[in-house]
A = this chain, B = another copy of it.
């Protein structure tokens, strides 16, 4: 089935990485894929825009079925290949509820982290304020403390929604890995650090690790004081 699939992706993009981890977990190796460059604006090229009018990566197709939204694509893959590879959404209601809860809390984490990491990239210089940067960092600190707290509960871990690797990890791990690459302190967030250390060795994650992170293991330190 994976030969029917096509993924346009960018290295290090958490949304792209989410789909790539899901594909690995569902044993869907061998899909067609093309690594594109954000710098060269490949994501605005005709081959992408024809499938994805937003001109964004990831751009993903399974046969004629287009799902460019990373959460949508991951849910689609789990639904279409439910009994293949890792079961990413548990059947037991209590476990399922926690997976759905953490999956979508991950969007808030990503948003708050992006507000800090991309501030100078997204906000024109004339509109920047130190007070905004300070507030965004405080919001991210509070968010990270919430996740650190989740992982500190006696019954928690080692994964985000308990003892099994689930869709919550597929969707949130790339965001957390991105945080550590941008200087997040493993001393300040030891439980998140333990989680990062555990999951980064998972085969689906190593197989899809951003190639430019391998070339340049050291990222920026934007989050060092968060």
The interface of chain A, by Cβ under 8 A from chain B, is 53-54, 62-73, 75-76, 79-80, 89, 93-94, 96-98, 100-101, 103-105, 107, 124, 126-127, 129, 131-132, 146, 149
Contacts and interface: CB of A to CB of B under 8 A. Distances in A.
A54 B100 contact: no
Contacts of A146: 53-54
7 contacts: A62-B93, A62-B97, A69-B104, A72-B97, A75-B100, A79-B96, A124-B131
A100 B53 contact: no
B53 A104 contact: no
A72 to B, nearest CB: 3
Contacts of A94: 64-65
Nearest to A52: B101
B131 A69 contact: no
Given A54-B146, A69-B100, A71-B100, 7 more contacts: A65-B98, A67-B101, A69-B101, A69-B103, A71-B104, A79-B96, A80-B93
Given A97-B62, A97-B65, A72 B131 contact: no
Contacts of A129: 126-127
A108 to B, nearest CB: 8
Given A79-B96, A107-B107, A68 B101 contact: yes
A213 to B, nearest CB: 26
A65 B89 CA distance: 15
A198 B195 CA distance: 47
A100 B126 contact: no
Contacts of A63: 93
Contacts of A97: 62, 65-67, 72, 76
Nearest to A95: B65
